Amino acid sequence: MKYVIIIPDGCADEPIEALGGRTPLQAAHLPALDRLASQGSLALANNTPAHLPAGSEVANLCLLGYDPDVYFTGRAPLEAAAQGITLGEHDWAVRCNLVTIEDQTMVDFTADHISSEEGAELLRAAQAELLAKAAAAGDVMASRFEFVPGVSYRNLLIYRGDASTPAPFSSDTRSQAPHDLTDLSVANDFPRGPGSEWLVRLMSESEELFASHPVNQKRIAEGKRPATHLWLWGLGGAPQLPSFHQRYGINGAMITAVDLLRGIAALVGWPRIEVAGATGYLDTDYEAKGRAAVEALEQYDVVCVHIEAPDEASHEGRHDEKIKALQSIDKSIVAPLCEALAKHGDYRILVTPDHPTFCSTKKHTHGMVPLLMAGTGIDADSQTSYDEITAEASGRRFDHGWDLMDAFIKL
Ligand SMILES: O=C(O)[C@@H](CO)OP(=O)(O)O
């Protein structure tokens, strides 16, 4: 049996007036998904328990079958795994965004999609000026923090502790995802709780350091937004996840452009298939991802394709771009995979976003997402299209999203 999981990140939405009261999934032209909906069955799933962040970090763990109350320690440790960083017992990882804040308002959580090279240069400056100097002056804690560049605005800060100098953070340390602050005041959303003084200090000191930095001067001269601050959030200690093979007895592989999903893959024992042209943004190469997924079917039991673009369009409040992303996923990923699966004998396919992201608020939100399962042993229900409304009408629900994988694999 071959299994395919397609995750159009954040694609669930609410009815939008400008779309005649339809959701982007309803408004998009999605012939391959409609065909699958007619052959399979729809349901709703909750991947974001109310007491946890409504983020991709919780939701993707959940949809791959891992109860976040048991396995979730924070977003950054998952992303650290993507970079091959192993966290020890006293180590913590912190997500470090490069952001644009103006007049205390989060104008852009991506610093205008700053390039990885520019980001790395700013992080080198932060390491030298905000940490190395304090460490040289005898600050032991400062010597234990290290900025680790990632992709674009998505970077990390690692704390390496030991029994005598453990990380100053705890599960009571609170932080706020910057993509949920777009256009809002940040004044009351700085980190709080144990160790937060470290994070607040670095975030505040980065303002002066970055203001005069040549990277930003050049960006401004080119008409781009500067990275005005570091924004630190999503911290946690080392996660312990049983492998997917231990849980379900089969092997898988992950196709994604973002470190969060790469990290989850690494932790559950899946290889990551890197695709040239996959960007984690609206300009991603959908066809290349589709081709890579079809090829991967030859080798793996489960092929999981994650596409970040619908979520990014929602964070920008652009329902037109969200529709385009959904149509590209349908044409260049769902359709070729369905065609290829048909040649592989028994198969099952699951299409589901991780969480809803509303174009109206530009934020993730808690709540049910629509999902579609089709293939061997899955009976057709009466729905003929895949969207939030038809999934609700199906009457089937997974109140604990982590139960879905069992149903999908073991059915
Ligand atoms: O990586 C991130 O910082 C966020 C926003 O781009 O991703 P997601 O919305 O999927 O959590």
Single out the residue of 363, 268, 262 nearest to residue 53, CA to CA.
363
Tell me the two tokens of residue 201: 């200090």
56 Cα to the center of ligand 1, angstroms: 7
Amino acid 80: pLDDT: 98
Confidence of residue 410 (pLDDT cuts 50, 70, 90): confident
Pocket test for ligand 1, best of 57, 110, 154 (most atoms within 8 A of CB): 154
> Best mutation site among 98, 258, 318, 366 for ligand 1, i.e. most ligand atoms within 8 A of its Cβ?
258
Residue 46 forms part of a structural domain: yes
Contact (Cβ atoms closer than 8 angstroms) between residue 6 and residue 305: yes
The answer as to whether 189 is a domain residue is yes
Structure token pair of residue 138: 């005898």
- 55 inside domain: yes
- 246 and 370, same domain (yes or no): yes
- Same domain, yes or no: 380 and 289: yes
Gap between the Cα atoms of 392 and 45, Å rounded: 10
Q: What is the pLDDT of residue 101?
A: 98
Residue recorded with tokens 């990885």: 116
Q: Of 208, 236, 264, which marks where a domain is finished?
A: 236
Q: Establish if 158 belongs to a structural domain.
A: yes
| Mean pLDDT value of segment 254-271 | 98
Model confidence at 93, pLDDT cuts 50, 70, 90, reads very high
**H/E stretch holding 322:** helix 319-329
| Confidence at residue 359, expressed as pLDDT on a 0 to 100 scale | 98
- Position 242 scores a pLDDT of 98
ipTM over 0.90: yes
C-alpha of residue 139 to centroid of ligand 1, in Å: 33
Look at residues 212, 236, 260 and tell me which one is the last residue of a structural domain. Answer: 236
How far apart, in whole angstroms, are the C-alpha atoms of residue 81 and residue 267?
7
Three-state DSSP at 230 gives strand
The percent of residues in the chain predicted with pLDDT above 90, rounded, is 100
Q: Domain for residue 10, yes or no?
A: yes
Pocket of ligand 1 (CB under 6 A): 9, 55-56, 154, 179, 258, 311-312, 315
- For residues 256 and 318, membership in a common domain is answered with yes
* Ligand 1 atom nearest 179 alpha carbon: 5
Residue 86 lies in a domain: no
Predicted local confidence at residue 191, as pLDDT: 98
Domain count, the chain: 2
**401: closest CA among 352, 349, 358, 365?**
352
Residue % of the chain over a pLDDT of 70: 100
- Mean pLDDT over 25-43 rounds to 98
* Segment 272-283 mean pLDDT: 97
The ligand 1 atom nearest the CA atom of 364: 9
Longest dimension (CA), the chain: 70
Distance 401 CA to ligand 1 centre (A): 20
Amino acid, res. 282: L
- Tokens standing for residue 257: 């452009």
Same domain membership, residue 100 and residue 36? no
Instruction: Give the integer Cα–Cα distance in Å for 59 and 79.
Output: 14
Mean pLDDT value of segment 347-364: 98
Match 């099952």 to its residue by tokens.
348
Separation CA 355–CA 61 (nearest Å): 11
**Which amino acid type is present at position 384?**
T
Residue 411, pLDDT > 80, answer no
Shortest-distance atom of ligand 1 to CA 9: 10
Give the residue, out of 75, 94, 179, with the most ligand 1 atoms within 8 A of its beta carbon, to mutate for a pocket test: 179
Give mean pLDDT, residues 163-186. 96
Note whether 100 and 184 are same-domain residues: yes
pTM of the model: 0.96
C-alpha dist (Å) from residue 288 to 118, 291, 344: 27, 5, 21
Residue-range definition of the domain harbouring residue 143: 92-236
CATH code of 56's domain:
3.40.720.10
User: What sign for the dihedral angle of Cα 285, 289, 290, 294?
Assistant: positive
Q: Quickly state the pLDDT bin for 14 (edges 50, 70, 90).
A: very high
Residues 98 and 142 in one domain: yes
State the CB neighbour count (10 A cutoff) for residue 377: 9
| Closest-lying ligand 1 atom to the alpha carbon of residue 178 | 3
At residue 59 the predicted structure's pLDDT band, cuts being 50, 70 and 90, is very high
62 with 97, same domain: the answer is: no
Going from the Cα of 76 to the center of ligand 1, the distance in angstroms, rounded, reads 12
Nearest CA to ligand 1 atom 7: 56
Question: Whose alpha carbon is nearest atom 6 of ligand 1?
Answer: 312
Q: Are residues 248 and 397 in the same domain?
A: yes
Atom 1 (ligand 1) nearest CA: 154
